[in-house]
Amino acid sequence: PLQAQKKLFKETTQQKADRMQWWTNDRFGMFIHWGLYAMPARHEWVRNAERLTDSAYQKYFDYFNPDLYNPKDWAKMAKAAGMKYAVLTAKHHEGFCLFDSKFTEYKSTNTPIKKDLVKEYVDAFRAEGIKVGFYYSLIDWHHPDFTIDRNHSQRVNTPAEYEKLNKGRDMAKYREYLKNQVRELLTNYGKIDILWLDFSYPGQNGKGKDDWGSIELIKMVRQLQPQIIVNDRLDLKEYDDAWDFVTPEQYKVASWPKDEKGNKLYWETCQTFSGSWGYHRDENTWKSTQQLLVLLIESVSKGGNLLLNVGPTARGMFDYRAQNALGSMGEWMKFNAASIYGCTEAPAEYNKIDQTLLTYNPKTKRLYVHLVDYPLSRLVLPGYEGKVKYAQFLHDNSEIKMTASNGHWDNSDYKKGDLTLILPVTKPNVEIPVIELVLA
């Protein structure tokens, strides 16, 4: 028998399901990585990768002036893409704050732009009806009390070097700073829907729950914002209820993630357009529209969400590649969103169909067959005979004829009990066409 998980709060499973309801329904969110690293424009880890010192990094602070920042445009693009929530980096690992914190001078209000960028984001996204979240980095490469560790921008090799560099640094003070800033974010900007903390790496020269004061922190978070949804990176996995969802980052899960008792977990994969999270001018590894749509559809087909990242430029714009990608997703979502919102993994009685991804809406009892690889005029649904009342394309509600026979004199895929759909030979003008099955 497995050990009972520890609990910090009194919330029941049903109460959690109610709190998570909008999030599981909405499925698709926008991640926004924005900070000083938009200026070097070569990955948000540039300070670590190139071992940049405080003084080498200072020029980005001195010249930070995103004069074209207009989060209303961002919110409109997110909405048009079909995204229902957003998560902005209020502070990333570099330590720079996009908000007017009382606890640091290292903030946007002290740069040439002189604005609380978080405030404008919150107002703009809320105005478009998009739920508002904050990313806050646990790691901080700028704070003088944050001890040098294996993920720091300063690299050291020997224990003696660590000791020397960390003389005078006091994690207890950093812990207070972290708590104070999270309190500011969850107090000064109204109702916040999501808190995305990043990240823990316990072990040698690492940091985890004791370094962050994770238990204290999560208690404060839940007290300030009882309905908030929080990710799983505080290193509190032994508690059932100290986190809400798991966060596979830049990889695909094989199947719906479960805990060790086999319970399905709430989950969200976070993904980038090109690899880097921060704006990367020269990266040439942008995903195709097809790949991006598959990331979304496949997540829903396994019961999860997609948080898709944009890295705005140092002038505060989404660059043309990001705009194009969002636009193409929006084109698809405009006609096919019914297979995403409110949908989840299909019940096991509906067999997998080759070259397709299935999603299911439990309220309307409709099954969505995503034709990832468009078939040639016939699609055999294995074991579906008697299970389907009606079939149509989702984008135009045009009927798709079905037959409980092979539908062709030489359809060798067909077995008794299967259902055959008769499709047009020409693929409809939709990146990934969707068949809507009204289930019996």
What is the maximum alpha-carbon separation in the chain? Answer: 82
To the nearest whole angstrom, how small is the minimum distance from the Cβ of residue 249 to ligand H79?
A: 6
To the nearest whole angstrom, how small is the minimum distance from the Cβ of residue 137 to ligand H79?
A: 7
Can you say how many angstroms the Cα of residue 294 is from the centroid of all Cα atoms in its chain? 15
Count of Cβ atoms closer than 10 Å to residue 228 Cβ: 18
Of 232 and 345, which CB lies nearer to ligand H79 in the complex structure? 232
195 neighbors 243 (Cβ within 8 angstroms): no
To the nearest whole angstrom, how small is the minimum distance from the Cβ of residue 403 to ligand H79?
A: 48
Residues in 407-426 at the binding interface with ligand H79, rule: CB under 6 A: none
From 42-50, 220-228, 258-266, 417-425, give the range in contact with ligand H79 by CB under 6 A.
42-50
Nearest-CA neighbor of 33 among 332, 327, 329, 322?
322
Of 207 and 366, which CB lies nearer to ligand H79 in the complex structure? 207
Binding-residue total with ligand H79 (CB under 6 A): 9
From 6-14, 44-52, 172-180, 217-225, give the range in contact with ligand H79 by CB under 6 A.
44-52
Distance in angstroms between the alpha carbons of the first and the last residue of the chain: 40
DSSP assignments along 98-159, one per residue: SS--TT-S-BGGGSTT-S-HHHHHHHHHHHTT-EEEEEEES--SS-TTSPP-TTSSS---SH
Radius of gyration of the chain (CA): 24
Of 270 and 343, which CB lies nearer to ligand H79 in the complex structure? 270
CB proximity list for 434: less than 8 A, separation 6 or greater: 336, 339, 368, 369, 370, 371, 393, 394, 395
Beta bridge partners of 91: 97, 136
To the nearest whole angstrom, how small is the minimum distance from the Cβ of residue 45 to ligand H79?
A: 4
Among 23, 34, 37, 45, binds ligand H79 (CB under 6 A): 45
- Tabulate helix, strand, coil % of the chain (nearest 5): 30, 20, 50
To the nearest whole angstrom, how small is the minimum distance from the Cβ of residue 297 to ligand H79?
A: 22
Of 275 and 347, which CB lies nearer to ligand H79 in the complex structure? 275
Residues in 12-41 at the binding interface with ligand H79, rule: CB under 6 A: 33
To the nearest whole angstrom, how small is the minimum distance from the Cβ of residue 138 to ligand H79?
A: 11
From 43-51, 123-131, 338-346, 385-393, give the range in contact with ligand H79 by CB under 6 A.
43-51
To the nearest whole angstrom, how small is the minimum distance from the Cβ of residue 247 to ligand H79?
A: 8
Of 176 and 249, which CB lies nearer to ligand H79 in the complex structure? 249
Type of residue numbered 31: F
Among 26, 44, 94, 149, binds ligand H79 (CB under 6 A): 44
To the nearest whole angstrom, how small is the minimum distance from the Cβ of residue 20 to ligand H79?
A: 20
Measured distance CA(207)–CA(49) in Å, rounded: 19
Between CA 404 and CA 412, with CA 409 as vertex, the angle to 5 degrees is: 75
Residues in 195-224 at the binding interface with ligand H79, rule: CB under 6 A: 198-199
Can you say how many angstroms the Cα of residue 46 is from the centroid of all Cα atoms in its chain? 22
DSSP code at position 337: G
Measured distance CA(229)–CA(243) in Å, rounded: 8
Measured distance CA(183)–CA(25) in Å, rounded: 28
Of all residues in this chain, which one has the CB nearest to ligand H79 in the complex? 45
Among 185, 236, 270, 333, binds ligand H79 (CB under 6 A): 270
Residues in 293-322 at the binding interface with ligand H79, rule: CB under 6 A: none
Between 155 and 194, how does the x/- string for binding to ligand H79 read (CB under 6 A)?
----------------------------------------
To the nearest whole angstrom, how small is the minimum distance from the Cβ of residue 261 to ligand H79?
A: 28
To the nearest whole angstrom, how small is the minimum distance from the Cβ of residue 156 to ligand H79?
A: 15
Residues lying near ligand H79 in the complex (CB under 6 A): 33, 44-45, 49, 198-199, 249, 270, 277
